[in-house]
Structure 1
Amino acid sequence: MAKTKKVRYQLRFFGRVQGVGFRYTANSIAYSLGITGWVMNDWDGSVLMEAQGTETSIERLINQLHNGVYIEIDRIEKTPLSVDTEERSFKVKSW
């Protein structure tokens, strides 16, 4: 698989990920890496994200989130999705 090919994943982050600036940190990192998609808190205390970009950019997003000051990621569930060719930005969503 080429590293420049676009991919999309649903990512669910578990750990200390709510109330620590996770979504806004993710938004900032995604913007800097050219990743599109969205992020939102989920009812169970996890954070749900759909991220679209190259494999490399998504790996960088995850690595940079691990380095967040107050963020503590215990586990990530990663599910491949179909690429959304119309999506142009990354946003923070609420319920």
Structure 2
Amino acid sequence: MTKNIIIRVYGRVQGVGFRYYTREMAIKSGITGYVSNEADGSVYIEAEGAQEQLDVFIRLCKEGPARAIVTDFRKFEGTLMNYSSFRIK
């Protein structure tokens, strides 16, 4: 069963390649959706996939790329949007 989750990542997550890392990890994990930078300095992610895929993706997003420092990670259930790919906004 496909699920939609919304993730907000806080810390040093902009200007460190976090969106590109997220897209790469989404493709490797079979996740669809998108990632974007927010005005408050956080990163916003909408992700869709099977629970097992999402579990792997969430773990990878909590780590982030080498230069990132994640200080807060929030996950919420979202509404299924049936994305066909994963993109950077």
Do both share a fold (TM > 0.5)?
A: yes
Map of 1:19-58 to 2, 5 A cutoff? Answer: 19-58=15-54
- The structure 1 residue matched to 2:71, chosen from 64, 69, 74, is 74
Corresponding residue SS for 2:65: coil
Deviation at 1:67, TM superposition (A): 5.1
CA distance in 2: counterparts of 1:47 and 1:67, whole angstroms: 11
TM-score normalized by structure 2?
A: 0.90
- Report if aligned partners of 2:18, 2:64 keep a CA contact under 8 Å in 1: no
In structure 2, runs of 5+ residues without a counterpart are none
**Matched letter for residue 40 of structure 1:** S
TM-score using structure 1 length? 0.85
Over aligned residue pairs, what C-alpha RMSD do you find? Answer: 1.2
